[in-house]
Amino acid sequence: MKQAFQYKLLLNTNQRQEIDRWLDMLRHQYNYLLAERYSWWKYNRSDCVIPQGEFCQIACTIGSQVLRNNPDWHSQSAKLPQLKKERPWYKDIYSQVLQDCVKRVKLAFDRYVKGDNKGKRSGKPRFKNKNRYRTLTYPQAKDNWIIGNKIKLPKLGLIKYICHRPIPQGFKIKTASITKKADGYYLTLITEDQTVPEFKPDIVPTEDNSLAIDLGLEKLYFDSNGNFVLPQKHLRKAESKMAKLQRKLADNSRSKKAKKLIRRAIARFHQKITRARQQWHYEEAKKLSLQAQVIFIEDLKIANLRRKNKLKNIDGKYIENGQCRKAGLNKSFSDCAIAQFVEILQHQAQKLGTKIIKVNPRNTSQVCWNCLNKVPKSLSDRWHQCDNCNESIDRDFNSSLLIKKLGLGVVSV
Ligand SMILES: [Zn+2]
């Protein structure tokens, strides 16, 4: 079983400057390697300009450039010794940390070109500015690096951290990373205990040991026992304070230094909201996981829900597409962070031995759970009123009851 632990680092000025310097160098190297990969594409492709009515020639020349090999992880990491010769200050970085930078380029590129292990492709890798390159990783950390409440990192030396929770016995440290956040520097240790297997509960869901939840915006979830949790709209509540800070930032009469301070205040405020939301999600997920042995949830595609409305245009003019209203809805989706909640729920359930089963969400809001009669509703209709069997309940309650039935395999819609 793998588990991550995060600790706050207590750095002195020298250490902070050294980490910043490393991050800067690594970022330059990252951008250089990324540029190398893009330039290969550029020079090994022909700009194919096809006049109308003609076909693309299959054989064409590729400028005056000599064909190069496609840069990959091997060729790029083989160039590191050369880099250290030309730029001796790169010798200051621990060699494995530098190699990890090459791996990050490879990962970013592979996810863009081929997709991850589920085949999902990410966007085009970007060149990183200071705010986007914040982590350095020691890919092969050792257990004996930890000495009391200090960690001995090669080439950085002994670094103090706040050990609010010791690493449990039996867990071996795999990697160590340092991340720069809005309120300081953090150490993340990925640990593994090979004697503890990944938990795969083998429970047969029944009427009594299972629970279904309907996730939503108006309520975080509505379970099939009739309980619900209202969302704490952290971001919305904090909106006016945030707007005030943003207005301060937009005021150009302020000095550069003052603006820097405001920017930092905004970053910390965002961090505070995120942490409060995460804490709340963990608490709710734990409560849920303890209630039943099997939990049915909808298999939602959050990215699709958040998608922008399509632009409609007739004769070159844009007509109304409801994007303004959709934007408000999207903001609520982000604020509620359903995807995060689902992830945390799965994580907590695994720890507590609860099985999560995903159910196809198709028609779960429209069909009556009792008689399977279709009752069409729009998003604003919050009540389920069935004319067929006279069922009259909250629409989310109806959904959760139906999800339970679907999960148990009693019915299909
Ligand atoms: Zn009905």
Query: What's the CA-to-centroid distance between 255 and ligand 1, angstroms?
Result: 65
Query: Do 297 and 393 fall within a single domain?
Result: yes
Query: Do 186 and 264 fall within a single domain?
Result: no
Query: What's the CA-to-centroid distance between 374 and ligand 1, angstroms?
Result: 8
pLDDT for the residue numbered 22: 96
Domain limit, last residue, from 163, 192, 221: 192
Query: What's the CA-to-centroid distance between 411 and ligand 1, angstroms?
Result: 14
Query: What's the CA-to-centroid distance between 367 and ligand 1, angstroms?
Result: 8
Query: What's the CA-to-centroid distance between 384 and ligand 1, angstroms?
Result: 9
Query: What's the CA-to-centroid distance between 207 and ligand 1, angstroms?
Result: 20
Query: What's the CA-to-centroid distance between 400 and ligand 1, angstroms?
Result: 14
The predicted model scores a pTM of 0.78
Domain limit, last residue, from 192, 222, 252: 192
Query: Do 288 and 396 fall within a single domain?
Result: yes
Query: Do 170 and 239 fall within a single domain?
Result: no
The 3 state secondary structure assigned to the chain is: CEEEEEEEEECCHHHHHHHHHHHHHHHHHHHHHHHHHHHHHHHCCCCCCCCCCCCCCCCCCCCCCCCCCCCCHHHHHHCHHHHHHHCHHHHHCCHHHHHHHHHHHHHHHHHHHCCCCCCCCCCCCCCCCCCCCCEEEECCCCHHHEECCEEEECCCEEEEECCCCCCCCCCEEEEEEEEEECCEEEEEEEEECCCCCCCCCCCCCCCCCEEEEEECCCCCEEECCCCEECCCCHHHHCHHHHHHHHHHHHCCCCCHHHHHHHHHHHHHHHHHHHHHHHHHHHHHHHHHHHHCCEEEEECCCHHHHCCCCCCEEECCEEECCCHHHHHHHHHHHHHHCHHHHHHHHHHHHHHHCCEEEEECCCCCCCECCCCCCECCCCCCCCEEECCCCCCEEEHHHHHHHHHHHHHHCCCCC
Query: Do 97 and 150 fall within a single domain?
Result: yes
Query: Do 174 and 215 fall within a single domain?
Result: no
Domain limit, last residue, from 161, 192, 223: 192
Task: Look at residues 338, 358, 347, 339 and name the one whose alpha carbon lies nearest to residue 294.
Answer: 358
What is the Cβ-side half-sphere exposure of residue 157, based on CA atoms within 13 angstroms?
9
Query: Do 173 and 286 fall within a single domain?
Result: no
Q: Do the domain assignments include residue 57?
A: no
pLDDT for the residue numbered 156: 93
Domains contained in the chain, number: 2
Which range of residues forms the domain containing residue 10? 2-44+66-192
Q: Do the domain assignments include residue 49?
A: no
pLDDT for the residue numbered 96: 95
Query: What's the CA-to-centroid distance between 371 and ligand 1, angstroms?
Result: 4
Query: Do 345 and 393 fall within a single domain?
Result: yes
Q: Do the domain assignments include residue 232?
A: yes
Query: What's the CA-to-centroid distance between 391 and ligand 1, angstroms?
Result: 5
Query: What's the CA-to-centroid distance between 375 and ligand 1, angstroms?
Result: 8
Query: Do 70 and 177 fall within a single domain?
Result: yes
Q: Do the domain assignments include residue 306?
A: yes
Query: Do 164 and 283 fall within a single domain?
Result: no
Query: What's the CA-to-centroid distance between 364 and ligand 1, angstroms?
Result: 13
Query: What's the CA-to-centroid distance between 214 and ligand 1, angstroms?
Result: 18
Query: What's the CA-to-centroid distance between 114 and ligand 1, angstroms?
Result: 47
Query: Do 229 and 184 fall within a single domain?
Result: no
Q: Do the domain assignments include residue 270?
A: yes
Query: What's the CA-to-centroid distance between 377 and ligand 1, angstroms?
Result: 14
Query: What's the CA-to-centroid distance between 224 and ligand 1, angstroms?
Result: 16
Query: What's the CA-to-centroid distance between 386 and ligand 1, angstroms?
Result: 5
Query: What's the CA-to-centroid distance between 373 and ligand 1, angstroms?
Result: 5
Query: What's the CA-to-centroid distance between 385 and ligand 1, angstroms?
Result: 8
pLDDT for the residue numbered 170: 87
Query: Do 246 and 167 fall within a single domain?
Result: no
Query: What's the CA-to-centroid distance between 227 and ligand 1, angstroms?
Result: 21
pLDDT in tens, the chain (413 residues): 888 999 999 999 999 999 999 999 999 999 999 999 998 877 776 666 666 666 666 665 655 556 778 888 999 999 999 999 999 999 999 999 999 999 999 999 999 988 888 777 888 999 999 989 999 999 999 999 999 899 999 999 999 999 999 998 889 999 999 999 999 999 999 999 887 776 677 788 888 889 999 887 778 889 989 888 887 766 667 778 888 888 999 988 889 999 999 999 999 998 988 888 889 899 999 999 999 899 999 887 765 565 666 666 666 666 666 666 666 666 666 656 788 889 899 989 988 888 899 988 888 888 888 888 888 887 778 888 888 888 888 888 999 999 999 888 887 77
Query: What's the CA-to-centroid distance between 369 and ligand 1, angstroms?
Result: 7
Query: What's the CA-to-centroid distance between 358 and ligand 1, angstroms?
Result: 24
Q: Do the domain assignments include residue 255?
A: yes
Query: What's the CA-to-centroid distance between 357 and ligand 1, angstroms?
Result: 25
Query: What's the CA-to-centroid distance between 147 and ligand 1, angstroms?
Result: 65
Q: Do the domain assignments include residue 109?
A: yes
Q: Do the domain assignments include residue 364?
A: yes
Query: What's the CA-to-centroid distance between 186 and ligand 1, angstroms?
Result: 54
